[in-house]
Structure 1
Amino acid sequence: MHDPVKDSLVDTLVDDRYFVRSLIARGGMSSVYLATDRRLDRDVALKVLFPHLAADRGFLRRFESEAKSAARLSHPHVVGVLDQGITDSLAYLVMEYVPGRTLRGLLDERHALSPRLALALMDAVVEGLAAAHDAGLVHRDVKPENVLLADNGRIKIADFGLARAVSTSTNTGTLVGTVAYLAPELVTGDGGDERSDVYSAGILLYEMLTGRQPFTGDSPIQVAFAHVHSAVPAPSALCPGLAEDLDELVRWCTARDPEERPVNGRALLGELRHIRTTLTDEELDFRCTTGSASGDMPTEALSRSGAAAATGATEVIGASDPTSIIDASALDQDPHGSDTGRDANHTEVLSRSEHATTVFPGGLGTAGDDGDGTADGYPHDGFEDGEDDEGDDGTGNEQAGTRAQRRLARRADRNRLRDSDRQAHRPQVGLRSGRSGRRGVLLALVLTVLLCAAAFAGWFFGAGPGALVSIPDVSNASVDEAGDQLGGAGLNFTTTEVYDEVVAAGFAVGTDPAAPGEVRRYRPVTLLVSKGPQLFAVPNIVQRSLDAAESDLADAELALGGVTEEYSETVSAGAIISQRPTPDTMLRLGATVDVTVSKGPAPVEVPSVTGQSEEAAVKAIEDSGLTAAVAPDKVNSATVPAGAVVSQTPEAGLLERGQTVTLTISLGPRMVEVPNYVGRRAEEARADLEGRGFNVQVENLLGGLLGLVRDQDPGAGTAPEGSTVILKVV
């Protein structure tokens, strides 16, 4: 068995801020990591896009724009986007860390849910979608894997904007989404809007009520085919006994024609809450026992080729024509003979990890039934459970007739109000018609609730916790003064210490978010308090080479300063003799350390020993710090006596200590034969002697009239070369 390969990002620091602790999930578009924000000391979920997406400049521009849009969306049921960044090697998104699990985990555990719990969960999901739709955002990938159930009972929707950014950046022959929840208009390439999210929410409700997805098949293209050409069946067809109002709600959300659906999440939310208050306890607590849990349906990429290729985490079918997503002919007839009775998930290879992007193992928390018709963590809608808008005399026949009349009236109302709903973009279409008098009472109640909600919203966002507050500039103020300014502005704040090179320790560096700026009063602000400059210990770099010393200083967050050179008898050339400051001195980030570098031993002047005896010459050279060497061959010299130094190499100049001076020793003058010149002419004798290397001295006797040599000194024999021969001439 091989050990798992460690992810290259784990235990690294991204963008000098986010320390990656572990890999949470890896999917078709990105990998998700648990990371720690070093600046604010908090856990975050770090979504890092795959390199092929990060290398697409067009996608990066769309990704940055979508991230900014998603970051402006602040809602209790939406996972907050905290930051995004693009470095030389990666593009990432920083999201709120939500410990818990996904709705997929709950469905795997419980299969079908009771209508009470399903509607309570849908309330949070649709409320989050409504807030996003109001802000102009479309999710495009609503599914159980993107619904996070926090340990504290909160329900949040994750991954706003990412699917849209990927879809926009890819070629037009590729569609990104989760095929089991994909709206028909996205499959056919007609484009999607808020109503596409409503369709996916309807499929999600169907799965919560029945424990199954409405369409399955051997391949994703078969499931997409079913979305385009088949109507979503009523949940009660799989779970007999479910309230007919739930059938109507699911069919309204999943109408194949977008014009037949609620125009956005806000329109769906009103009807959802109305149904929650009008169903009886028996209908709310009904449990389907015939459904089965459906597996994950990973995010898929479909093309008009009509074939599926399970290639890894994301299933991609190559686009043969960049002008459309799926060929119309492929949607007019089933290319593979779709069998909706089989499970499409067995053909897929993507693990569930991509869809649990910000969730960790945990339970549902407190998001369960609490007996009042709501679930903990959800806002109460103003109606009491069991309150109905119908009259009933207690007889089953009359009740059945009344329900049938209501369904007919409901369909007529929906068709009549559809056009006005689209124009107003805030429809409140009722699926129950009820009696006319009761409808008037309900309308009055709804108007009252809306007026109260508007008044509350006005107070909340005007003077209450949701009001915008300007962040004061607290830099260089004491902690108490900064706290007073933030508290005076009505802001809640926490304190974090940071290093700062300018602000003295104990004083405020600033805030996060920084001033000037505005935040909602309920949003926390972090007060950054200076710990003073960060200090680093100077390493010992004596005896180190200059390159090694520079590397040691860089590792210590310091820098090499001035460099001087001097001779040293003990430190080899190129090594550092001394440093300033000394080791273990504490310096600020980037401070410099000056060094003195050895040039080796100082040079020695060569003494002149020519003419000295060999012994004296050797001693003089060695005393100066040099090495004397005697040449093996001695030479004759007419001027230097035997045993003395005739010459030296070098004769003078500077040498490094220990270098060699070579001495040549004299053999004395060479002995040359002296002929007998008595009786010979003086001029001839003189010329011959000089040719032999002698000096000639002539002494004339009686005036030297004859010019003949009478005597010579020395006489015939040998004499030292260069010596003087005296000729006496008559």
Structure 2
Amino acid sequence: MQEHVADPLLDAAVDGRYRVVSRLARGGMSTVYLATDTRLDRPVALKILYPHLAADSFFLERFVREAKSAARLSHPHVAGVLDQGYDGDVAYLAMEYVPGHTLRDTLNEKAPLTPRLALALLDPVVEGLSAAHQAGLVHRDVKPENVLMSSDGRIKIGDFGLSRASSAGNSTATLIGTVAYIAPELVSNGAADARSDIYSVGIMLFEMLTGRQPFIGESPIQIAYQHVNSTVPLPSTLVPGLAADLDELVQWCTARDPERRPHSPGGLLGELRHIRTTLSDQALDFRPAADGPAPHGAGNTEAGPAGSRTGMSAAPPVPAAPAASGTDATAEDPNRTTVIAPGYQRTTAIPRTPVPDTAAHEPAPPRRQAPAHRRPGGLTKRQERAWERERERQAQRPAVALRPGNRRRRGAAWVVLLAILAVLAATAGWFFGMGPGAPVSIPEVTGRSAADARALLEQRGLEFTLNEVFDEEVQRGLAVGTIPAPPAQVRWFEQVTLVISKGPELFDVPRLLGLSEDEARAKLEESNLAAGEVFGEYSDSAPAGQIIGQDPASGEQLRRGSQVDLTTSIGPEPFEVPDVTGESVAEATAELQEAGLQVSIAEERTYDSDIDAGNVAAQSPSSGTVVPGDTVTLTLSLGPRLVEVPSVVGRDLGEARSILEDLGFEVDVRSFFFDEDDDNATVRFQDPDGGTAPEGSMVTLRVF
């Protein structure tokens, strides 16, 4: 457990201009804060570089140069760079703040998307990349987390220039963090151009259409290996029913050979918009069946910070599409032929046997090279455009030598050429057989100490670079693996990346007190943690449902996915309502208020022969349980009711008793000669006789 240190930048004024409001996210190179530009009174996204990068002069020089290049780029679909500078040891970059969410949030909520929505979301991304590439900027880190979607519908791509600057200081820092979208050439040799960004766009389109990423694995190294050695499958293998044009678009963008991809986002943008206008509404609004691919997030996860694990799910593997095989026709199916365009391949089933009376199903002609001036028949519009591009390329190559030359000289030239080729072949044989070009197997280093892993690679004569990543399973200081992974073979002059574990990534436990349970769960999820057990506890100060306790406390650090137990208020503890009937108003009020109850006096009063006037004759509630703050209503007594006493002298005892009891009096019979229960006796005397008396009082009758 690491000691928690409060973020010193919160509420600080960076460079005397940017007032830090809150922390938004942490990445592989920087921490992103929401700040206020006090000079222009506007919100900005302030990226603060990590101290180890800010202390690297080579990185800072490249960072400043790339930031200046990105600042010159102004486009509605690119998040602008506003400012860059230093404040002591703090190196920062002020960028346009785009309130809203990212494409990752949309995928987590809605994936897989309909083709109409996927193409509509991708259009501004490709347009922004096209503008950036024309300005000489290559992104290198295109992924859903960097596609910003504002609340008013604007879509921008962010972080231009940062990934390239990062690669100058550490060629694998970005590779590990975003391995799910990385182009094969970045893994194999670190080289990147506009086509590398197009490959990442193709992976994003695959994920939008299918709800998952094409390659998964137990570690980032395994996924990077698949990018280099496997072909991205067609989306329709996961979502049957998708239009073939969408399969071809993904296949075109994600070709392992960069030469077979679109050469610029501008060309891709034209093709993307052509597909949006030519597909039917049914194809554009197609949704997979209920038993289609797993919901987004069930198979793959993409970590935000660089270095975090990617693709850790145990979801079933995606069916692999056949690997690309140059420009040859597919040999597996004799009924299939391949039409090749520069950087683009489309496979179309063509029946060999003609179908009677159907002009559209004529047998395929023998495959041969079409003349440069004749267009082959039976092509689709897309194949026609590809043919035109290839024809223009071939037109730039000379077909016939301008001068035939001397035959004897040509013979001597052939002899010299063959001799040179022989020497080159022998040299190549030595170079690739026993020389520096001979293949060397990469040793297994996973689980070894950093020193042992370095020694193993040095023993094989391999050049390597170090890269540290967070890992939940491998202890700090031990090797996670290599890129490429064993049992791959490399040449001695090819570089290998040795990945060392920094141990599990720790996350700050947020303060949850005072939040509702739903708010606390959401905040824990944002912090890469989870809610544990939830306990209820009585509280006189906190309303029901509010968090009044958490374990561990805020400020501590936990591993990703660790649980935090919550204690919620279930309100005040109930108790039996006190009985204050018969008491004076002052006594009853004091007793109830001491118990935490509110007191209300009813306007109406009631007669009560047993309770003195002014005292409490009744209360509501009269029984049961209450909680502090509840109100008890008191009804006061008017004392006994006064009733007119009738004279019953001379009446039979039974009749006299009935009259008095009906009026609410009690009757006391006294007799000297008759039985007191003899109703036929005559009443000779009563006390009181006439006037009024309290209801329930005694009237004495004498009979004789």
SS in 2 for 1:667: coil
Instruction: Write the mapping of 1:266-285 to structure 2, written as runs, cut at 5 A.
Output: none
Q: Distance in 1 between matches of 2:254 and 2:392?
A: 24
The C-alpha deviation readout for 1:546-569, integer Å capped at 9, x for no partner, is: 222223222222222222121122
The reply on whether 1:714 has 2:688 as its aligned counterpart is yes
Could you tell me how far 1:455 is from its partner in structure 2? 2.3
Q: Distance in 2 between matches of 1:477 and 1:518?
A: 20
Name 1:217's counterpart in structure 2. Answer: none
From 235, 252, 257, the counterpart of 2:400: 252
Could you tell me how far 1:458 is from its partner in structure 2? 2.5
The C-alpha deviation readout for 1:353-380, integer Å capped at 9, x for no partner, is: xxxxxxxxxxxxxxxxxxxxxxxxxxxx
CA distance change for structure 1 residues 57 and 9 in 2, over 3 Å: closer, same or farther?
A: farther
Could you tell me how far 1:649 is from its partner in structure 2? 0.6
Name 2:344's counterpart in structure 1. Answer: 165
Name 1:444's counterpart in structure 2. Answer: 415
Give 1:58's aligned amino acid. Answer: A
Name 1:727's counterpart in structure 2. Answer: 701
CA contact (8 A) 2:515 2:547 kept: yes
Name 1:210's counterpart in structure 2. Answer: none
Q: Distance in 1 between matches of 2:419 and 2:387?
A: 28
Q: Distance in 1 between matches of 2:387 and 2:426?
A: 29
The C-alpha deviation readout for 1:81-130, integer Å capped at 9, x for no partner, is: xxxxxx989xxxxxxxxxxxxxxxxxxxxxxxxxxxxxxxxxxxxxxxxx
Q: Distance in 2 between matches of 1:451 and 1:535?
A: 60
Could you tell me how far 1:624 is from its partner in structure 2? 1.5
Instruction: Write the mapping of 1:218-237 to structure 2, written as runs, cut at 5 A.
Output: none
Q: Distance in 2 between matches of 1:717 and 1:13?
A: 92
Could you tell me how far 1:167 is from its partner in structure 2? 5.7
Q: Distance in 1 between matches of 2:605 and 2:104?
A: 78
Give 1:505's aligned amino acid. Answer: R
The C-alpha deviation readout for 1:400-430, integer Å capped at 9, x for no partner, is: xxx7xxx3xxxxxxxxxxxxxxxxxxxxxxx
The reply on whether 1:564 has 2:535 as its aligned counterpart is yes
CA distance change for structure 1 residues 486 and 183 in 2, over 3 Å: closer, same or farther?
A: farther
The reply on whether 1:58 has 2:244 as its aligned counterpart is yes
Name 1:434's counterpart in structure 2. Answer: 407
Q: Distance in 2 between matches of 1:698 and 1:601?
A: 58
SS in 2 for 1:727: strand
Which sections of structure 2, spanning at least 5 residues, go unmatched? 1-72, 82-94, 96-100, 106-124, 141-162, 164-172, 178-189, 210-241, 265-294, 298-323, 330-339, 351-359, 361-370
CA distance change for structure 1 residues 50 and 592 in 2, over 3 Å: closer, same or farther?
A: closer
Instruction: Write the mapping of 1:515-530 to structure 2, written as runs, cut at 5 A.
Output: 515-530=486-501
Give 2:77's aligned amino acid. Answer: K
CA distance change for structure 1 residues 566 and 727 in 2, over 3 Å: closer, same or farther?
A: same
The reply on whether 1:7 has 2:186 as its aligned counterpart is no
Which sections of structure 1, spanning at least 5 residues, go unmatched? 80-86, 90-133, 140-160, 173-181, 206-249, 254-274, 276-402, 408-431
Instruction: Write the mapping of 1:115-130 to structure 2, written as runs, cut at 5 A.
Output: none
Name 1:375's counterpart in structure 2. Answer: none
Give 1:723's aligned amino acid. Answer: S
Instruction: Write the mapping of 1:453-464 to structure 2, written as runs, cut at 5 A.
Output: 453-464=424-435
Normalised TM-score (structure 1)? 0.50
CA distance change for structure 1 residues 183 and 485 in 2, over 3 Å: closer, same or farther?
A: farther
Name 2:521's counterpart in structure 1. Answer: 550
CA contact (8 A) 2:533 2:565 kept: yes
The reply on whether 1:486 has 2:457 as its aligned counterpart is yes
Q: Alignment length, in residue pairs?
A: 422
Instruction: Write the mapping of 1:633-672 to structure 2, written as runs, cut at 5 A.
Output: 633-672=604-643
CA contact (8 A) 1:496 1:528 kept: yes
Q: Distance in 2 between matches of 1:624 and 1:200?
A: 94
Q: Distance in 2 between matches of 1:665 and 1:604?
A: 24
Give 2:344's aligned amino acid. Answer: A
Name 2:603's counterpart in structure 1. Answer: 632
From 171, 179, 184, the counterpart of 2:373: 184
Could you tell me how far 1:720 is from its partner in structure 2? 1.5
The C-alpha deviation readout for 1:525-580, integer Å capped at 9, x for no partner, is: 11111122211112222122222222322222222222212112222332221221
Could you tell me how far 1:631 is from its partner in structure 2? 1.2
Q: Distance in 2 between matches of 1:198 and 1:641?
A: 112
From 139, 154, 178, the counterpart of 1:34: 139
From 573, 589, 593, the counterpart of 1:618: 589
From 573, 576, 592, the counterpart of 2:544: 573
Could you tell me how far 1:475 is from its partner in structure 2? 0.7
Q: Distance in 2 between matches of 1:614 and 1:88?
A: 67
The C-alpha deviation readout for 1:284-308, integer Å capped at 9, x for no partner, is: xxxxxxxxxxxxxxxxxxxxxxxxx
Could you tell me how far 1:686 is from its partner in structure 2? 1.6
Could you tell me how far 1:449 is from its partner in structure 2? 2.6
SS in 2 for 1:533: coil
Could you tell me how far 1:728 is from its partner in structure 2? 0.9
CA distance change for structure 1 residues 481 and 558 in 2, over 3 Å: closer, same or farther?
A: same
Q: Distance in 1 between matches of 2:325 and 2:406?
A: 31
Normalised TM-score (structure 2)? 0.51
SS in 1 for 2:638: strand
Q: Distance in 2 between matches of 1:668 and 1:540?
A: 60
Could you tell me how far 1:609 is from its partner in structure 2? 1.3
Q: Distance in 2 between matches of 1:601 and 1:658?
A: 9
Q: Distance in 2 between matches of 1:201 and 1:3?
A: 33
CA contact (8 A) 1:471 1:514 kept: yes
Q: Distance in 2 between matches of 1:252 and 1:466?
A: 38
Name 2:130's counterpart in structure 1. Answer: 25
CA distance change for structure 1 residues 195 and 49 in 2, over 3 Å: closer, same or farther?
A: closer
Could you tell me how far 1:459 is from its partner in structure 2? 2.6
CA contact (8 A) 1:671 1:719 kept: yes
CA contact (8 A) 2:202 2:250 kept: no
Name 2:650's counterpart in structure 1. Answer: 679
Name 1:204's counterpart in structure 2. Answer: 396
CA contact (8 A) 1:671 1:720 kept: yes
The reply on whether 1:465 has 2:436 as its aligned counterpart is yes
CA distance change for structure 1 residues 605 and 689 in 2, over 3 Å: closer, same or farther?
A: same
Q: Distance in 2 between matches of 1:499 and 1:464?
A: 37
The reply on whether 1:136 has 2:358 as its aligned counterpart is no
Q: Distance in 2 between matches of 1:677 and 1:43?
A: 123
Q: Distance in 2 between matches of 1:14 and 1:491?
A: 40
CA contact (8 A) 2:205 2:250 kept: no
CA distance change for structure 1 residues 666 and 563 in 2, over 3 Å: closer, same or farther?
A: same
CA distance change for structure 1 residues 185 and 500 in 2, over 3 Å: closer, same or farther?
A: farther
Q: Distance in 2 between matches of 1:72 and 1:473?
A: 30
Could you tell me how far 1:591 is from its partner in structure 2? 1.8
Could you tell me how far 1:5 is from its partner in structure 2? 0.9
Could you tell me how far 1:644 is from its partner in structure 2? 2.4
The C-alpha deviation readout for 1:257-290, integer Å capped at 9, x for no partner, is: xxxxxxxxxxxxxxxxxx9xxxxxxxxxxxxxxx
CA distance change for structure 1 residues 567 and 579 in 2, over 3 Å: closer, same or farther?
A: same
RMSD: 4.8
SS in 2 for 1:44: coil
Q: Distance in 2 between matches of 1:638 and 1:73?
A: 107
The C-alpha deviation readout for 1:654-689, integer Å capped at 9, x for no partner, is: 112121111111111111122222233222212211
Higher relative contact order (CA 8 A, sep 6+): 1
SS in 2 for 1:448: helix
Q: Distance in 2 between matches of 1:599 and 1:88?
A: 36
SS in 2 for 1:5: coil
Could you tell me how far 1:66 is from its partner in structure 2? 6.3
Q: If you compute each CA radius of gyration, which structure gives the higher value, 1 or 2?
A: 1
Give 1:635's aligned amino acid. Answer: T
Q: Distance in 2 between matches of 1:459 and 1:699?
A: 145
